[in-house]
Amino acid sequence: MSFNFASDNVAGASRPVLDALVAANGGPMPAYGTDPITLRVVSMLAELFERDIEALLVATGTAANALALAACLDPWGLCLCHEEAHVIDDECGAPEFFAHGAKLLGLPGTGGKLSPETLGQAIDRLPRHEKQMPAQVVSLSQATEAGLVYTPDEIAALAAVAHARGLVVHMDGARFANALVQLGCSPAALTWRAGVDILSFGATKNGCFAAEAVIAFKPDLVRSLRFRRKRSGHTLSKGRLLAAQFDGYLRDDHWLDNARHANAAAARLSAGLAGVAGIRLAWPTQANEVFAILSSGMDAALKAAGTIYHPWSPRSLADGERLGPGEALVRLVCSFAPEPSDVDGVIAAARSAGR
């Protein structure tokens, strides 16, 4: 028996997404994103976000982030983000590469979150001289790399600090759906109404096979995006097959169902593990990821029982929380696919090791 909680991406694509792909496959259609499915998906996204938007579809989250940030940054510009953000830690420098040399600056914060104070002070401390790179963008991960969600009020407070200093607000929404269903608010409330200017709208982790959208809420950010996408090799010639994934994903709120399923699995796993001796949670479980601090014996027992997960960085633990000798901080991610029995299998393995 094996329980794979290594990543959201251990799951394949969901059935409605595959069905939509098959339905879109027949017959000729215009290429390069000028097909009726792409146009329909952009309208669906505009309806979802309750306003005119510009949406560009791409196949990976790294491409979405790198293109979005490049559209907002001069080559000499600085993007502030959390020190453990995917954009700074896990994209092999793609944002800097796509933005022709712009730089990312990581800031500390508990649970992967930036605070308005940290952000404001960091920007205000930067020297304002042509020898130094000026801050132009702040990037927020929703949910964060520690599985926490920013509320609309928290985003608005950060956006107020950023906008007052002339910065653009980018949101890396690789797990946007998981944050949205946790908060129970609208996509508009979680983005442009709170001050987000440009969003990487993730869909791959939550049911698509390779589909993400860059959604710009400010028309002037869009000017360069199409050229940047093509120039970087991210304009798919058979664009309808990219759009079809979104068609299946968004239709009948399938994406929200998937996110609710993933979050419920994580809540079940979190509650079960937290009740076992030798395990404590590193951060509360607010989306589809569980971060647990395990004794070395528990870590070995879970692995021996076939549970697959990754170690995680303790850098953004709360003040006063730290790993004891031999303890490990690990991340277990629930995709949209696990059955309650998969979750219960891990909890049972932990309980029997904890006895």
Ligand X SMILES: Cc1ncc(COP(=O)(O)O)c(C=O)c1O
Q: What residues line the site for ligand X (CB under 6 A)?
A: 60-62, 65, 86, 141, 145, 172, 174, 204
**Least distance in angstroms from the C-beta of 54 to ligand X:** 20
Pick 86 or 228: Cβ nearer ligand X: 86
**In whole angstroms, what is the distance from residue 130 CA to residue 124 CA?**
16
CA angle 143, 147, 151 (to 5 degrees): 45
Classify residue 292 as left (phi > 0), alpha (psi -120 to 50) or beta. beta
The least distance separating ligand X from the CB of residue 176, rounded to whole angstroms, comes to 10
Question: Smaller CB distance to ligand X: residue 204 or 335?
Answer: 204
Nearest to 263 by CA among 330, 215, 221, 205: 205
Distance CA 324, CA 179 (A): 31
Q: For ligand X, which is the closer residue by CB, 57 or 353?
A: 57
Cβ–Cβ < 8 Å for 330, 4: no
Nearer to ligand X, 172 or 197 (CB): 172
- C-alpha–C-alpha distance, residues 22 and 112, integer Å: 39
Number of residue whose CB is nearest ligand X? 61
Residue 268 Cβ vs ligand X, minimum distance, rounded to whole Å:
22
DSSP 139: E
Alpha-carbon distance values, 149 to 1, 59, 144, 241 (Å): 32, 24, 6, 31
Residue 166 CB, nearest distance to ligand X (Å)? 25
For residues 201 and 295, which CB has a smaller minimum distance to ligand X in the complex?
201
| Rounded least distance, CB 265 to ligand X, Å | 17
112, amino acid identity: G
- Closer of 66 and 350 to ligand X (Cβ): 66
Closest distance to ligand X from the beta carbon of 96 (Å): 15
